[in-house]
Chain A
């Protein structure tokens, strides 16, 4: 299966808090590709659906933490691109 993946450091000062998470859901909904955020920490791997505000909040990605973005679908390239750009702040 084809997919894109990239890592990004969260640049929002409060981390992925309610406002940033809401914006992220809005942004992700513009793409057709399925988009997953994941924490690269091997001892505690967590995945979040980028269109689910609850799962993003539960990812608990604070300021400066490293998060992976994975997308698969027709517009996966643009999706990963713009989401990483948003997360970097």
Chain B
């Protein structure tokens, strides 16, 4: 105990990425995605990386990606949720019934009342949260394995929805709700730039705060050039994404209708980009909030602690049963939020909405590096996982790959991704 205290910094050579403190796993995933996108772009003669296709990819990914962020917490806690697709259908049916019959007719608000969307969505979110909490109670307090509870839920909830909607397709949905669907709800060019600028400013502020906090406690910080480089990459990525979405031009016929509706005539040569879809904005907000919850709140810390060692969490005074209820309630809330996006995207509620989503959601989380053994997973990973899966599927569809073969490829990619992850962890483990 007499040794002199060593300096706090690690010495020796540091690679560029270590200096930037970028997660090498994240880099690997982005790399894989870039290769995939370029390959599809080559095979489709440049049709894959067009603003139009990127716009479509974005809005197709949202529903699964929102649920995948919740699935990260569920899997980190060593549980699983097989009922997310069914719960999406149940909450979608609930919101559909509210919009089509309960609110306008039974309660007499009338079609097109501005209160319909908020009430219907709030009801859906409440129902989703309650069902999730109930699942969590069965798992946490009654000690029924999550696999069984949610396998039951997979059969139960979709069919609750079936009775709710009498098995019918529900539509037309409320115009405000439809805004969450994608193409019919975009922010336009100016608003998209504003949001992009705010997001970039927020990211820079977060970087600066993190650095200031480290300085406050006398920790070593990254060199300034590394901070600047990182900030530049983030700003470029955000603004590049906005620029791409703004470049997707609305068809002239559609614009003429917009002007006609306002009683004006479209000026010659007028053009407008779609900009950021509201559904994508919802996903971004969910991603930021969930990342903050995971990294900067006690709730998130306890979720990861309970996943790493449930006994340790319990002995540290963490109420792991209540924690299970909270995690599944959050999952249920996100299913309902996905249901808003999903039903708005197809413009009506159907009984088969969200079918097989549980598998897509779990696959997205797992491809994104969430370990089924628990304790490990990231929100951005799950979203990237969802994007990669959707890209694979759309890309193959564009190339004209048979549907059965598409499934074979997606299945193989899932297994391969986990295998690569295991090899990666082994490497990192050996180094330590």
A binds B: no
